[in-house]
Structure 1
Amino acid sequence: QNNPNPFNPTTQINYAIKQEGLVTINIYDVLGRVITTLVNENKTAGFYTVNFDASKFSSGVYFYTIKSNDFFDRKKMIVMK
């Protein structure tokens, strides 16, 4: 999960990769549109942190997905301005 949540304007997304592979982290609006891609690269196994700056986005609910090999997760985050 991202921390802090709710946040204004930045938050950190912490994630772990079990094996080397392509990692993709996308941010979506409530309509399911990709608004930005935070990560789209090969990563080795380990723990990572990526920052999301929502200063250009409106207050509201957003979602992010993490994809890597056979792993997929989706989480909700809230921007409060």
Structure 2
Amino acid sequence: KIKFDLPENTRVTIKIYDILGREMRTLLNSEYRESGRHIIEFSASGLASGVYFYKLTAGEYNAVKKMVLIR
């Protein structure tokens, strides 16, 4: 699960990258979201155990967070 809060209505993009920077998944692609708390669930099927990063872009805001997938 990826949780985030939006202070205002905006378009959101969330992409998953592997440790080498290769894009593995797009969870949201410039989708309109209203302000408030959001929880995005995704299936990790097809992804190997390891370290991944997700990049969240919401309007002018960008954040990259690390996550570890353990099978």
TM-score greater than 0.5 by the shorter chain = yes
1:38-63 Cα distance to aligned partner (Å, 9 max, x none): 11201111110001221211010000
List runs of 5+ in structure 2 lacking aligned partners.
none
Distance 1:33 1:18 in 2: 30
Corresponding residue number in structure 2 for 1:47: 37
List runs of 5+ in structure 1 lacking aligned partners.
1-11
Which TM-score applies when normalising by structure 2? 0.91
Distance 2:66 2:58 in 1: 18
Corresponding residue number in structure 2 for 1:19: 8
Letter matched to residue 58 of structure 1: A
CA-CA distance at 1:33 after TM superposition: 1.1
Distance 1:55 1:62 in 2: 14
Could you say what the CA RMSD is over the residues aligned between the two structures, in angstroms? 0.9
CA-CA distance at 1:74 after TM superposition: 0.6
Runs of 4+ deviating beyond 3 Å: none
How many matched pairs? 70
Identity of aligned pairs, percent?
39
